[in-house]
């Protein structure tokens, strides 16, 4: 977590201040009540002076955000409202909001069938964090819940993006990333399934089978469960070498309407049209 204004770092260093600021940023432009602050900072055993301590922390946090100058515009960002506090953040100032906006745009592109643009949008969004989470501050129950929701959404977006890139035939490029993701979350069936498919398409059937066995062992030992139906269907197809697991062909990847460029040509260079154009020609997918 980093707070800057006009190139000046105004990130608080004290743990309680960082924790409060993180909670305010997670609820930017919305009221955080006194009860929420107390629960976040002390969970279920607040001291008798908890409310007074929150007031003191807010006063100190305002001073930090002002940079020591009461005349700065930052002074009005953290305001008292409805027995709580609101941190005002303008559009484009908070990285988390920029991340969520870009992920939404990526998902919309994927739903519209634009795999290339959607995958790029989501990959760019995740690059905002450069490998670290959105908050590096102590976390109480409210922050933990918010961060868990962000992480679930991040993983869901990764799965959606990887699925699109697999459909684009990028299994070789995805192998290292998928290995790292499965190492971090060995019980994740979706990521393991995507790794198995990427390995199989790369000619590494034995490694795909090994990934399945590791998943099965992890689920049995840690959760007392077994892989779901989709993973079992996938391993059956891998063992059978089913054609549906093959990567898409170049024609399947191109979503364009310029099919005329791929039609057979007359001796003079003009494209054939009608039935003659397709007799013996390779079919062109205009959308899939």
Per-residue pLDDT reduced to its tens digit, 99-149: 999 999 999 999 999 999 999 999 999 988 765 556 677 899 999 999 999
Phi (first) and psi of residue 169, to 5 degrees: 80, 25
Q: Which of 151, 172, 175, 137 is nearest to 25 (CA)?
A: 137
Question: Looking at the predicted structure, is the pLDDT value of residue 273 above 90?
Answer: no
Mean pLDDT for all residues in the chain: 84
Q: What is the pLDDT of residue 93?
A: 86
Q: Which of 222, 226, 224, 242 is nearest to 234 (CA)?
A: 242
For residue 87, the cross-strand partners are 78
Q: Which is more confident, 226 or 131? A: 226
Q: Which is more confident, 231 or 67? A: 231
Distance CA 282, CA 279 (A): 9
Question: Looking at the predicted structure, is the pLDDT value of residue 75 above 80?
Answer: no
Distance CA 232, CA 211 (A): 13
CB atoms within 10 A of CB 203: 10
pTM listed for this prediction: 0.78
Question: Looking at the predicted structure, is the pLDDT value of residue 254 above 50?
Answer: no
Q: In angstroms, how far is CA 149 from the centroid of its own chain?
A: 11
CB atoms within 10 A of CB 91: 9
Angle, helices 15-26/50-66, rounded to nearest 10 degrees: 80
Q: What share of the chain is helix, strand, coil (3-state, %, to 5)?
A: 60, 5, 35
For residue 9, the cross-strand partners are 4
């Amino acid at each position: 977590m980093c707070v800057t204004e006009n190139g000046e770092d105004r990130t608080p260093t004290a743990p309680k201040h960082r924790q409060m600021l993180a909670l305010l940023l997670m609820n930017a432009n919305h009221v955080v009540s006194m009860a929420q602050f107390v629960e976040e900072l002390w969970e279920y055993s607040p001291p008798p002076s908890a409310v007074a301590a929150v007031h003191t922390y807010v006063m100190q946090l305002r001073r930090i955000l002002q940079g020591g100058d009461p005349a700065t515009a930052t002074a009005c960002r953290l305001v008292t409202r409805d027995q709580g506090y609101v941190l005002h953040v303008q559009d484009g100032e908070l990285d988390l909001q920029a991340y969520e906006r870009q992920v939404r745009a990526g998902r919309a592109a994927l739903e519209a069938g634009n795999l290339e643009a959607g995958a790029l949008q989501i990959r760019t969004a995740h690059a905002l964090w450069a490998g670290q989470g959105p908050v590096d501050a102590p976390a109480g129950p409210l922050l933990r819940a918010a961060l868990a929701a962000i992480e679930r959404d991040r993983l869901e977006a990764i799965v959606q993006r990887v699925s699109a890139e697999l459909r684009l035939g990028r299994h070789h490029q995805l192998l290292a990333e998928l290995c790292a993701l499965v190492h971090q979350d060995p019980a994740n069936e979706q990521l393991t399934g995507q790794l198995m498919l990427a390995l199989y398409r790369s000619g590494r059937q034995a490694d795909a089978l090994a990934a399945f066995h590791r998943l099965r062992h992890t689920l049995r030992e840690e959760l007392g469960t077994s892989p779901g139906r989709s993973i079992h269907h996938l391993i059956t197809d891998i063992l059978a070498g089913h054609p549906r697991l093959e990567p898409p062909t170049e024609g399947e990847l191109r979503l364009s309407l310029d099919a005329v460029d791929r039609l057979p040509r007359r001796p003079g260079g003009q494209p054939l049209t009608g039935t003659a154009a397709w007799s013996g020609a390779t079919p062109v997918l205009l959308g899939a």
